[in-house]
Amino acid sequence: MCQLLGMNCNVPTDICFSFEGFCARGGKTDDHKDGWGIAFFEGLGCRIFLDDHPSSSSPIAAFVRQYPIRSMNVIAHLRKATIGPVGLENCHPFKRELWGRYWVFAHNGDLPSLPIPGEGVYRPVGSTDSERAFCLILNTLRQSIGSHKPGITDLYGVLQRITQEIASHGIFNYLLSDGEHFFAHCSTKLCYILRQAPFAPAHLIDEDITVDFQELTTPSDRVAIIATTSLTDNEFWTPFEPGQLMVFQDGHPLQL
């Protein structure tokens, strides 16, 4: 199994605080140490830092933890290998282009019976069930919707159907974003928190670090953080319902 961390905001925000606690789970406070990755959307662009070393000891993770990159959509992942060996090609998040936008995906769970996609446009490079599922989602979106990104209601409907189908093969907690919308699906375990004014101090579970968000924000800022398990011990994290597919935009959950 793995660990997921996502962020969706209405202004470019750095994720250093959350990523600090999250990284500790890759070999220090937990054993998700078979690689890690983090994707930052910046405008239409997207950069991903990947490593097949444990996040708690990776020099690249150490660099990212202390280098604030401001983004409105971030997806991070710690890997505990089950299907597919340890290797860079099997590190999440995965990235592909669809409709002239980058799409980024990370998965927690196992889908042992999910078949390898056949002759669709998107094919996995590595050997994880996760990348297989991502390719299947993108092939389905492309085939069902056509050549342009539709309205969010139509997109949500297609995504929900293929998500349910894939989830029938096992455990399918995932984060998915194209830099405009942020999708989060819970099969078994996922939670989120919305931070907005009045902001307050937050204290990490995995490291003894506190940050006072009031000092770092303006009153109109809104930040949604989504994670496998809560990252702080003095805030209330809302658990997802099993089977729930949420969409966030500008730090808000959308009602669809």
Q: Which of 97, 154, 212, 233 binds a second copy (CB under 8 A)?
A: 97
Distance of closest approach, residue 49 Cβ to a second copy, in angstroms: 8
Output the smallest distance, CB 19 to a second copy, in A.
16
Range 124-163, binding a second copy (CB under 8 A): 124-126, 147
Q: How far is the CB of 239 from a second copy (least distance, A)?
A: 33
Would you count residue 50 as binding a second copy (CB under 8 A)? yes
Residue pair 189/238 in contact (Cβ under 8 Å)? The answer is no
- Asked whether position 42 contacts a second copy by CB under 8 A, the answer is yes
The reply to whether 2 belongs to the active site is yes
Q: Which is nearer to a second copy, 102 or 156 (CB)?
A: 102
Residues that are catalytic: 2
Residues that bind a second copy (CB under 8 A): 42-52, 59-60, 63, 67, 87-91, 95-97, 99-102, 119, 121-126, 147
